């Protein structure tokens, strides 16, 4: 049956059949792509934004409910100040430019990560992006920015410990759901599919709790070259997997 459908119809059928709701992506390879083209790192990051626009559009087209992308890790502060400053500015400009399109296409934007160490202007822009799109429903886009999963889990443990300390919950009533509800991703289903571009075979401190039973797809394609067809390949590969959830 799938052979007679268009690409879009085929992927929609796969999404429905496999109950694929949430795709997470480690967007890796911007700098290596730029280097291969004899361009500065900034050119790779800019081209990476174009890829993100393409993937967001495709996820909406294919009826994916959630898309979570790794944009800036807590470890990325160790990069050259010039590059970090550029990434902060790029995020701010991108959000300001894209919010009208998000509203036009019914896309809800949220950020996961530690906002406290960001500059005040960037915080305001992130809040603007979230507030302006909070009532949208067709695609939930989470951008992990200044995000690290170990930090997220540490903060969750502290939050739960505080609740135990003040008698709000009993220590014996703590469950996996208690932990999940104290993460940045509370009320968001765990990813079904994790895509890593750029060929590296590691998780890089990304959604460690949430990807316990997530299918992992690694492609050698650098993020700036990842497009709709590459996303289709990942979803088709996901369709071939047998998910057992430890059973």
Catalytic center residues: 28, 76
Cα–Cα distance for residue pair 59/138, rounded to 1 Å: 10
Cβ-proximal residues to 107 (8 Å cutoff; 6+ apart), any chain: 56, 60, 101, 133, 136, 138, 139, 140, 141
CA 174 to chain centre: 27
Strands of 94-138, DSSP E: 107-112
Decide if 227 contacts 56 (C-beta within 8 A): no
Q: What is the CA radius of gyration of the chain?
A: 19
Q: What is the arrangement of strands in the sheet containing 193-196, beginning at the earlier edge strand?
A: 107-112, 139-147, 66-73, 22-26, 193-196, 215-218
């Amino acid at each position: 049956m799938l052979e007679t459908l268009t690409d879009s119809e085929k992927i929609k059928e796969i999404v429905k059949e496999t109950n694929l709701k949430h795709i997470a992506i480690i967007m890796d390879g911007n700098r290596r792509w730029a280097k291969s083209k004899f361009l500065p790192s900034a050119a790779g990051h800019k081209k990476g934004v174009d890829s993100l626009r393409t993937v967001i559009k495709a996820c909406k087209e294919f009826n994916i409910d959630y898309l979570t992308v790794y944009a800036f890790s807590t470890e990325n502060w160790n990069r050259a100040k010039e590059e970090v400053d550029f990434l902060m500015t790029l995020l701010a400009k991108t959000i300001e430019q894209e919010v009208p399109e998000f509203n036009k296409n019914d896309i809800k934007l949220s950020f996961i990560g530690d906002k406290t160490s960001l500059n005040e202007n960037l915080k305001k822009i992130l809040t603007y992006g979230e507030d302006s799109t909070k009532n949208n429903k067709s695609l939930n886009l989470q951008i992990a920015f200044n995000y690290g999963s170990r930090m997220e889990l540490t903060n969750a443990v502290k939050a739960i410990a505080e609740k135990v300390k003040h008698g709000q919950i009993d220590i014996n009533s703590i469950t996996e759901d208690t932990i999940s509800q104290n993460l940045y991703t509370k009320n968001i289903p765990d990813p079904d599919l994790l895509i890593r571009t750029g060929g590296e075979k590691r998780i890089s401190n990304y959604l460690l709790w949430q990807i316990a039973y997530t299918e992992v797809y690694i492609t050698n394609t650098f993020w700036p070259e990842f497009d709709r067809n590459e996303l289709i390949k990942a979803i088709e590969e996901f369709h071939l997997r047998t998910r057992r959830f430890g059973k």
